[in-house]
Amino acid sequence: MLTWPSPRALLTAFSVYVAVILALYVAFALDLPNPWWAMATAYIAQPRQPLIGAIWAKAFYRVAGTIIGAIASIALIPNLANSPELMILAVAGWVGLCVFGGLLDRSPRFYLFMLAGYTVTLVGLPAAAHPDAIFDIAVARSEEILLGVIASALVQSVLFPRSVATAMTARLDEVMADTRTWISQMLCAAAPVPAPHHLANQLTEINLMATDWRFEATAFSGSQRRALWALEERLIALLPLITAVEDRIAALRDAGVAPPNLPAVTSRVASWFGTAKGADARANDPVLEEIGAAAPELGPASSWADLLAASLAGRLTELVETWRECVLLAAAVRDPTGRTRKAAIHLVAGARPRSLHVDKGVALHSAIVAALTIIGAAAFSIAIRWQSGPVAIAIAAMCCALFSTADDPIPQVRDFFIGLLIALPLPLLYEFAILPQVDDFVMLAVVLFPVMIVLGVLLTYPGLSLMALGAVVTFAAGLALQPSFAADLPSLMNGYLGLVIGPIFALVGLSLARVLPAHRVMRRILRSGWRDLAALTRAQRAPDRTVWTSRMLDRIGLLLPRLSQIGASEEGQLSKALRDLRLGVGIVELKRLRTTVDADTRREVDAMFAELAKHFDALSRGKPAAVSTGVVARLDAAMAAILELPDPVDRDAAIGAAIGFRRNLFPHAPAYRAISVTQ
């Protein structure tokens, strides 16, 4: 049910109208051949998030993509115009390549790839009949598209001058507050506290916002960028760390061997997290001292309760220190002055951008479907010698490219198609009743106002935005505004048929080969994690812990919305994903520390890793596989050897990693019993 548009929606609609009129005015002033392209582009280029950096980032990538597409048109079309079959194969291959590259880049650069792809069909194919004029046609069409992009960006920047920096730091504050609350509740609760489901997605949003910040006048300095990268690393590391603390507390309580001072220590840590004074280097010293005092000293005779208590103390210490680093780095991101930068300078060494999950298989699949859809539409057009065939091919290519990020693009293409269909009366009314009465640009701006305002308002309703997009394409293409007015019903209807048949080809191609059910995508995401776990266990050197945790946390963020779609238990699936995340962290830690033990223990650890690699390989292939309980015996033997280590730092770190590994793989296994490996 539609509600009355809000003032924000009305302002957005007005901005759309102003951008369209500005683009049209400049296009007419420059005497461009088809100003209606600028009109349509100004509407299509409206950003979802009216943030200055995001607006200009997308404008830049759209401009760059259009230029690359125009260059590709000039390179491909004249050389292959005499061989239509080869030309279509080349165009389809180019669009498929761009779709593949765009899906492997989960940043705003996605627009560059998509525009570079389908611009060839928009600019190049219509000029195939006149290849000698391809350069002039490509330049003119590119100028019209660029006008629309720039007009939209200018108007949005003036009417919605909200900074990416402001939005990103507000989102960062929200993440920090939610994380602090979660930690405090977890430490005080008698039962497990569910992780905030939105944290993974919010961290990815912050990462993507940062790529837009550099396009603002208030520069995103190199020190801020490195501080943000380092902050993301710490926030990502917190998730498995918090769940590890929760697991150790639960294990001690379940075993009935919780130290008597455990409630006091956890309460003290929770109280510290409840304050905002974590940036003070001395404020956490008493807390760390209390944690250290509660930790038992480990040795060959240590009991299971001692190991759990020491592991808990180690994780609590790491949690407190990591949180303090988060606060310091957050301050450096917000205010990169000399004081904050100096305080955080030792934390940003080696920081690098996040590693996000990509699915090359889905990207390749989408690229092939897009290419085959273009070939099908082209074959149909050539077979019937259809004059408007290039229009149908271009719209089909645009649908396959722009909606390729969706698991099931059919609903989006269908909504766009419905908008194309229902808007036909508008260009007919204007073309044959209204525009013949218009004799200057001011009058044109006046008569366009009602339609553009209504379509601009509909753009603000998520359920109607794609229909509105289809309607404005029909409206702009049907009017076909040019320097000289000429109403031509056959041309209008022929072009309109191209508009509506293009999405039909896209719907057929996508429905036959591209729909990915949510449960199938989830399996692919989970199997990617298991393949990475298998690779971790086989790695000769200790892999990068940050890369693993970043990619796995991103996968958790990708899983959650799909769990909601299929009605699955989010808690159960999230627990499994978090378990895999903690397992990866444990593997990395054990790999790093395996060189500190003797050769016999290393052989036990390597044998355990070999069994786990087979287990994860089987899971990644979709085969059920249980981990042999013999792994517990190997792990306990390794723990006994670790307890013999003379260095207390290495000993405590290795025991902490081994216990985490044991608890994640075999949470219900019998307690570890002290054994001596001394000969």
pLDDT-derived band of residue 338, with 50, 70 and 90 as boundaries? Answer: low
pLDDT-derived band of residue 507, with 50, 70 and 90 as boundaries? Answer: very high
Q: What is the pTM of this model?
A: 0.85
Residue 526 has pLDDT above 50, yes or no: yes
* Cα–Cα distance, 120 to 495 (Å, whole number): 18
- Of the CA atoms within 13 Å of residue 307, those in its CB half-sphere come to 27
Helix %, strand %, coil % of the chain (to 5): 75, 0, 25
Residue 571 has pLDDT above 60, yes or no: no
Which of 328-332, 445-449, 458-462, 484-488 is modeled with the greatest confidence? 445-449
CB 37 within 8 A of CB 141: yes
Using CB atoms within 10 Å of the CB of residue 654, give its burial: 0 to 12 exposed, 13 to 18 middle, 19+ buried.
buried
Neighbours of 44 (CB within 10 A): 18
Residue 679: predicted pLDDT: 42
* Cα–Cα distance, 194 to 230 (Å, whole number): 26
Q: Which two structure tokens, joined as six digits, stand for 679?
A: 């000969």
pLDDT-derived band of residue 278, with 50, 70 and 90 as boundaries? Answer: very low
* Cα–Cα distance, 507 to 410 (Å, whole number): 6
Q: What is the 3-state secondary structure (H, E, C) of 274-332?
A: CCCCCCCCCCCHHHHHHHHHHCCCCCCCCCHHHHHHHHHHHHHHHHHHHHHHHHHHHHH
Q: pLDDT tens across 545-558, in order?
A: 777 778 887 887 78
Residue 51 pairs with which residues in a beta bridge? 162
| Mean pLDDT, range 153-181, rounded to an integer | 84
More confident of the two residues 354 and 298: 298
Residue 569: predicted pLDDT: 53
- Choose among 82, 120, 35: nearest CA to 393: 120
pLDDT-derived band of residue 340, with 50, 70 and 90 as boundaries? Answer: low
* Cα–Cα distance, 321 to 82 (Å, whole number): 68
Q: pLDDT tens across 126-147, in order?
A: 888 788 888 888 888 889 888 9
Residue 129: predicted pLDDT: 78
Q: pLDDT tens across 1-36, in order?
A: 567 888 888 888 898 899 999 999 999 999 888 898
Residue 178 has pLDDT above 70, yes or no: yes
Residue 219: predicted pLDDT: 62
Neighbours of 610 (CB within 10 A): 12
| Mean pLDDT, range 100-115, rounded to an integer | 89
Residue 398: predicted pLDDT: 93
Q: pLDDT tens across 417-442, in order?
A: 999 999 999 999 998 889 888 888 99
Question: How long, in residues, is the chain?
Answer: 679
H-state helical runs in 51-133: 52-80, 84-103, 110-119
**Mean pLDDT rounded to a whole number for the chain:** 83
* Cα–Cα distance, 141 to 66 (Å, whole number): 10
* Cα–Cα distance, 349 to 606 (Å, whole number): 32
* Percentage of the chain exceeding pLDDT 70: 92
Residue 617 has pLDDT above 50, yes or no: yes
CB 564 within 8 A of CB 570: yes
pLDDT-derived band of residue 542, with 50, 70 and 90 as boundaries? Answer: low
